[in-house]
Amino acid sequence: MSSKTLLAVVFVFVLLFGGWFFVTYNGLVSAQEGVDAQWYQVENQYQRRADLIPNLVETVKGIVAHEDQTFTELAKYRAEWNAATTQEEKIAAAKSMDSALSKSGLQVIVENYPQLKSNENFLALQAQLEGTENRIAVERMRYNEKVRDYNIQLKRMPTSIVANMYGFKDKTYFEAERGAEEVPVATFGTPAATPVLTPGTTTPVASASVELYGEKTNVDIGEDIILKLSAVNLITKPVMTVQVILIPPSGMSVTSSEFATSGAGQFTTTYKLDPGGARDIEVRIKTSQAGDFTVRGRVIYYFGDNTSTAEDHTLELPIKVRAKNPIGG
């Protein structure tokens, strides 16, 4: 073999090895980021629940003032959650809240004091809490799936060589405490008032079963506005039918394939969710003019075939479209 041929073979080998190395490393980074991103979704749902606890406790204390131990525990674990700075601390505090809200804590009070179930404020808060518990279960399951895929990737040869070289470590599963799957009283409250969303926030629609997220609501003209529609059916409910009607600003259109034009500048989609099921839909709105606008819409949903109990909620989400600056301007 001539020296030129040998150099060519070595060059090809180095090129292939380098390509494999960078693809493998980038794959590990992407998998790790996927786990971290899903953890933030879990954290958001637990934070939502932590934010509900003070109002829930105050409502219950007004009727059952002498159940001090449970209320003290809930306040303690909520404070621990808010003070936690690491993922391990967050998980420990979340598990403690799981226990305090399940059969060993608040739910026992609810079962022992049936008069709570006639309190409108309590029913509304319980409905929001139940919806949040369902979302927690879904997001926790998705997180554990990401962790499983990432950990398997770390252990596979020859990927494990790159993982060890750059210090990639196994991620910890988030296993629920025994009894945490017991969702507090499955009762819907009355429909909530019209929610108004601000960019980058989320707002629940009745019992926290349907939400509209503003993921990208401040863009340059020509860029797409990006929203996310997320729905979770309660484990205790029949099949859930969801209809969403969006009305973008005049001259703009919804380009997501899940939506169809229904006339008069409206775009609609309808789908069903099995008990405990969840679905996320990305909503893209093509911009055509600059200014401050509002995306309006309606969410209508019902359970089973009983359309007479359908809940109808309106949505408003402010968006901003900037004019492009001239080059050099």
CATH number of the domain encompassing residue 160: 1.20.1440.20
CA distance 264 to 201: 28
209 with 114, same domain: the answer is: no
- Residue 228's beta-bridge partner residues? 213, 282
Question: What pLDDT shows up at residue 160?
Answer: 86
Q: Please give the angle made by the CA atoms of 141, 144 and 145, to the nearest 5 degrees.
A: 85
- Of 138, 165, 192, the residue that ends a domain is 165
Alpha carbon of 261 to those of 214, 231, 255: distances in Å?
21, 21, 10
Which pLDDT score, from 0 to 100, does residue 199 have?
A: 40
> What confidence score (pLDDT) does residue 326 get?
56
For residue 45, the one-letter residue type is: Q
User: What stretches of 177-217 adopt beta strand conformation (E)?
Assistant: 202-205, 210-216
Q: Which domain holds residue 70?
A: 3-165
Residues 147 and 207 in one domain: no
- Let me know whether 110 and 256 are in one domain: no
pLDDT of residue 251: 82
Let me know whether 158 and 208 are in one domain: no
Contact between 64 and 117 under an 8 Å Cβ cutoff? The reply is no
113 and 214, same domain (yes or no): no
Residue 156 lies in a domain: yes
From first CA to last CA, the distance across the chain in angstroms is 61
| 241 and 146 share one domain | no
Query: CA-CA distance, 243 to 180, in Å (whole number)?
Result: 31
Q: Are residues 141 and 213 in the same domain?
A: no
In degrees and rounded to multiples of 5, residue 199 shows phi and psi of -55, 135
Whether 186 is in a domain gets the answer no
Query: Any residues with CB less than 8 A from the CB of 89 and at least 6 apart, and which?
Result: 80, 83
**328 falls within a domain:** no
pLDDT for residue 235:
66
Decide: 276 and 235 in contact? Cβ < 8 Å: yes
183: in domain: no
CA atoms of 308 and 91, how far apart (whole Å): 41
Considering 116, 145, 165, which residue would you say is the last residue of a domain? 165
Q: 142-170 as b/e, with b when 16 or more CB fall inside 10 Å?
A: ebbebbeebbebbeeeebeebbeeeebee
Query: How far apart are the C-alpha atoms of 327 and 329, rounded to whole Å?
Result: 5
Structure tokens, 54 = 């003070």
Asked if 242 and 210 count as a contact pair (C-beta separation under 8 A), the reply is yes
- Per DSSP bridges, beta strands 278-286 and 253-254 are antiparallel
pLDDT score recorded for residue 1: 60
3-class SS at 74?
A: helix
Q: Residue 190: inside a domain, yes or no?
A: no
Residues 283 and 134 both lie in one domain: no
Instruction: Say if residue 28 is in the same domain as residue 82.
Output: yes
**pTM score of the predicted model:** 0.49
8 A C-beta contact, residue 80 and residue 212? no
CATH number of 287's domain: 2.60.40.10
Measured CA to CA, the distance from residue 54 to residue 115 in angstroms comes to 20
In a domain, 185, yes or no: no
Q: Which residues of the chain have pLDDT under 50?
A: 104, 178-208, 328-329
In angstroms, rounded to a whole number, what is the distance separating the alpha carbons of residues 222 and 287? 5
Where is 209: in which H helix or E strand? none
The predicted-structure confidence for 282-294, as pLDDT tens digits, reads as follows 888 988 888 888 8
**Residues 28 and 161 both lie in one domain:** yes
Q: Measured between alpha carbons, how far is 201 from 213 in angstroms, rounded to an integer?
A: 6
Number of independent structural domains in the chain: 2
| Residues 145 and 41 reside in one and the same domain | yes
Residue 129, domain member (yes or no):
yes
Q: Residue 310 has what pLDDT?
A: 82
> What is the per-residue pLDDT across 5-27, written as a single tens digit (0 to 9) for each?
777 777 778 888 788 888 888 88
184 falls within a domain: no
| Cα of 158 vs its chain's centroid, Å | 34
| Same domain, residue pair 154 and 24 | yes
